[in-house]
């Protein structure tokens, strides 16, 4: 951003940018470009500071998440724009666990919001479904469950080896994400909340989900609440996605169902997500990973990242600017100005330039 403030008074929004690995490094700059363009035309000030955390730094210096990272991010920044982590040279995925899961846990970003929204009817693999049917929000619990890294090996690398991975669920953790789902439904006048678990098999951890769900749902009598086992949910979202407005589930199931939802809406290249703790520095990343097989070719779809940026702008209170990015992306899809994953022939950069130009000239 230039030295001259675009808006008198008010402080600039400060964004930490972590492009990460693979296509994260290709799509994130396109998002930054689009945000700059929309901020400029709205005469708003925004500053970006880039951090080079990822596989290269890990392999070079042995550093994953620097010790002062969490403090700096929460004290100095309003939000974090994140690309993706994952590199074939780090088969353990150690750096991704430390950085991505580390930030989700240490910043206590308990809400992983992953909206599924069909931008154009031709993009869904489902027959006779339209954007009216494929439109729901997935709330994934983001700080607990099977992701906490509690467990270990016994007799590792022997024929008698045992591996244990604990599923950690706290009443507070379960309650806050379920409550968040109901509040979201209430605030957005959505009628239906579906909680999904596997309480028929996971008789302790998901029994807690059942009990908390029953308690919280009673406080929202105007909302139609329902429970489905996760296997049934996976089947139902494909059979009839129109029956869902809000889905709330645990960390692992939310990871899986959000990729399924992404594909119903045209693929991973389009899917945004937000890791939020309301009122605190939060982290915004596309649902997709670093996609090593297409990295470096300039063909990654930047739309997932740009829609992620729109969620970040909403979070900052810049609703009109978020809407402008969403409208630009819809126009790009409508005009077929898209990357090969959507059948187009544009490069990552060409799509990013087009979106930035669209929001600049205020179409
Ligand atoms: P992936 O999301 O990277 O890729 C899955 C498939 O989707 C691939 O065919 C890929 O080419 C395609 N794809 C993904 N994003 C795309 C885009 N923007 N444009 C066009 N095509 C796109 O999942 P994966 O292959 O299972 O994982 C690769 C690495 O990424 C792994 O190391 C994994 O752990 C990591 N990962 C990281 C994150 C994250 O940082 N948030 C998320 C998922 C996976
Ligand atoms: C995601 C990813 C991560 C997750 C991996 C990289 C740990 O798949 O953000 O969806 O499972 O949360
Ligand atoms: Mn995932």
Per-residue model confidence as pLDDT tens digits over 235-278: 999 999 999 999 999 999 999 999 999 999 999 999 999 999 99
Whether pLDDT at 5 is above 80: no
Ligand 1, atom nearest to 340 Cα: 20
As a dihedral over the C-alpha atoms of residue 63, residue 64, residue 70, residue 73, rounded to 10 degrees, the angle is: 90
Using a CB cutoff of 5 Å, list residues around ligand 3, an ion: 255
CA of 85 to the centre of ligand 1 (A): 9
CA–CA distances in Å: residue 256 to residues 221, 246, 317: 29, 16, 30
CA of 96 to the centre of ligand 1 (A): 13
Supply φ then ψ for residue 160, to 5 degrees.
-95, 15
Phi-psi region of 47 (alpha: psi -120 to 50; beta: other; left: phi over 0): beta
Whether pLDDT at 2 is above 90: no
**pLDDT for position 363:** 56
CA of 208 to the centre of ligand 1 (A): 32
Ligand 1, atom nearest to 300 Cα: 19
Residue 207: which residues within 8 A CB-CB, separation 6 or more? 199
CA of 268 to the centre of ligand 3 (A): 10
CA atoms within 13 A on the CB side of 163: 6
CA of 268 to the centre of ligand 2 (A): 13
**pLDDT for position 361:** 82
Residue 179: which residues within 8 A CB-CB, separation 6 or more? 216
CA of 86 to the centre of ligand 2 (A): 10
- Of 321, 322, 240, which Cα lies nearest the Cα of 274? 322
pLDDT 10s digits, 115-161: 999 999 999 999 999 999 999 999 999 999 999 999 999 999 999 99
pLDDT 10s digits, 184-228: 999 999 999 999 999 999 999 999 999 999 999 999 999 999 999
Residue to substitute in 290, 299, 300 for testing ligand 1 pocket (most ligand atoms within 8 angstroms of CB): 290
- The pTM assigned to this predicted structure is 0.96
pLDDT 10s digits, 67-125: 999 999 999 999 999 999 999 999 999 999 999 999 999 999 999 999 999 999 999 99
What's the mean per-residue pLDDT of the chain?
Answer: 96
Ligand 1, atom nearest to 88 Cα: 32
- Following DSSP, what letter does each residue of 200-237 receive, concatenated? TT-TTHHHHHHHHHHHHHTT-TTSEEEEEEHHHHHHHH
Which tokens in the block code for residue 4? 């001259």
Which tokens in the block code for residue 29? 């700059």
Whether pLDDT at 1 is above 70: no
Residue pair 184/246 in contact by the 8 Å Cβ criterion: yes
HEC secondary structure over 255-268: HHHHHHHHHHCCCH
| Atom 9 of ligand 2: nearest residue by CA position | 287
- The CB of 311 under 6 Å from ligand 2? The reply is no
CA of 255 to the centre of ligand 2 (A): 7
| Atom 33 of ligand 1: nearest residue by CA position | 86
What is the mean pLDDT of the segment spanning 28-42?
97
- The CB of 96 under 6 Å from ligand 2? The reply is yes
**pLDDT for position 11:** 74
Residue pair 224/256 in contact by the 8 Å Cβ criterion: no
**pLDDT for position 6:** 38
Residue pair 312/81 in contact by the 8 Å Cβ criterion: yes
**Residue 232 pairs with which residues in a beta bridge?**
none
Q: Which ligand is nearest to the CA of 27?
A: 1
| Atom 25 of ligand 1: nearest residue by CA position | 291
């Amino acid at each position: 951003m230039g030295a001259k403030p675009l808006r008198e008074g008010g402080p600039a929004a400060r964004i930490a940018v972590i492009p990460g690995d693979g296509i994260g490094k290709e799509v994130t700059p396109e998002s930054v470009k689009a945000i700059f363009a929309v901020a400029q035309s709205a005469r708003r000030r925004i500053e970006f500071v880039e951090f080079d955390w990822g596989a290269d730094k890990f392999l070079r210096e042995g550093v994953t998440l620097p010790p002062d990272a969490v403090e700096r991010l929460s004290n100095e920044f309003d939000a974090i724009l994140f690309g993706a982590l994952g590199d074939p040279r780090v088969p353990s995925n150690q750096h991704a666990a430390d950085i991505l899961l580390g930030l989700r846990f240490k910043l206590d970003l308990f809400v992983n919001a992953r909206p599924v929204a069909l931008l154009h009817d031709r993009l869904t693999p489902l027959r006779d479904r339209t954007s009216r049917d494929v439109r729901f929000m997935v709330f994934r619990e983001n700080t607990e469950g099977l992701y906490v890294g509690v467990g270990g090996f016994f007799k590792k690398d022997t024929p008698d080896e045992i591996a244990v991975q604990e599923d950690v669920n706290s009443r507070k953790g379960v309650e806050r994400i379920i409550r968040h789902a109901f509040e979201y439904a209430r605030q957005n006048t959505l009628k239906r909340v579906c909680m999904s678990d596997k309480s028929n098999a996971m008789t302790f951890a998901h029994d807690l989900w059942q009990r908390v769900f029953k308690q919280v749902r009673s406080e929202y009598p105007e909302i139609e609440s329902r429970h489905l086992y996760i296997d049934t949910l996976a089947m139902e979202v494909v059979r009839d996605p129109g029956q869902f407005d809000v889905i709330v589930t645990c960390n692992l199931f939310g990871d899986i169902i959000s990729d399924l939802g992404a594909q119903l809406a045209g693929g991973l290249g389009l899917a945004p997500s937000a890791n939020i703790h309301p009122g605190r520095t939060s982290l915004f990343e596309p649902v997709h990973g670093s996609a090593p097989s297409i990295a470096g070719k300039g063909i990654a779809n930047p739309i997932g990242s740009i829609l992620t940026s729109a969620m970040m702008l909403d979070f900052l209170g810049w609703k009109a600017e978020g809407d402008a990015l969403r409208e630009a992306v819809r126009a790009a899809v409508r005009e077929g100005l898209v990357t090969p994953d959507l059948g187009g022939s544009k490069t990552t950069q060409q799509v990013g330039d087009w979106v930035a130009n669209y929001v600049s000239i205020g179409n």
